[in-house]
Chain A
């Protein structure tokens, strides 16, 4: 059930508005230093660190250390569980829509 755990943890992790704001900022800037995140966020440094840890643990961001700085970037597969969810239903409806059309044709 590793995949399920991922979907739930991604959902739970991003449910917090501040944490989501941190994530969106990282996604927007592609790579950002933890220190500059604190400057832009109007949230205390320990709070930002805690959000970054949660995002990292949920597989949403990756970190890179360089000297005394830690840089964060969005993890490429971070949102895959959400895309898979929507993707399943997209494929489902495409297929069923095809069935519908076929059935109408058979009735002719």
Chain B
């Protein structure tokens, strides 16, 4: 089983959803904060973002508008990269979802970039991250109690 990891950025901004929506959906505005593009706010519209080429990847992110419900939800696919590249140039078949929720005095803006597929489950990756020691100790204890011969014997 593979598991898809997502990046989430969210914040309350002191503007109306309509106003933020324009910044998220007008091509010339998007270019100012994200990347050069030929975006149009219509489901099924295919567009590209242009970034720096890397290795055998031309730096073009291929996208398609999947959902467009002004001024609340915008979702597009995000494909690009190459297997032979590290970091941002690595192959990515993903989706970006913007959700705007009116709150008092502004709008809660949430961006989810989903589709970072790692082989296997989250457990192994979290196990390797800093700060995993205590949890792992607890799991290891339970595991060794439950399994006969689970601990390395001499």
Contact = CB atoms under 8 A, between A and B. Distances in A.
A7 B9 contact: no
Contacts, number: 133
Contacts of B23: 100, 103-104
Given A20-B124, A103-B23, A84 B32 contact: no
Contact of A85 (B13, B116, B143, B154): B116
B73 interface: no
B90 A85 contact: yes
A35 B92 CA distance: 38
B44 interface: no
A101 B13 contact: yes
Contact of A14 (B119, B136, B140): B119
Interface in B45-80: 55
Interface residues of A, number: 51
B88 to A, nearest CB: 5
B128 A74 contact: yes
A57 interface: no
A15 B118 CA distance: 9
B149 A89 contact: no
Nearest to A5: B84
Interface of B: 1-2, 5, 7, 9, 11, 13, 15, 19-20, 23-24, 29, 32-34, 55, 83-90, 109, 111, 113, 116, 118-121, 123-125, 127-129, 136, 139-140, 143-144, 147, 149-154
18 contacts: A3-B86, A8-B84, A14-B119, A14-B124, A23-B120, A28-B143, A30-B136, A69-B154, A84-B86, A85-B87, A89-B7, A89-B116, A90-B7, A96-B33, A97-B11, A101-B11, A102-B33, A104-B19
Interface of A: 1, 3-4, 6-8, 11, 14-15, 17, 20, 23-24, 27-33, 35-36, 39-40, 69, 71, 74, 76, 78-79, 81-86, 88-90, 92-94, 96-97, 99-104, 107
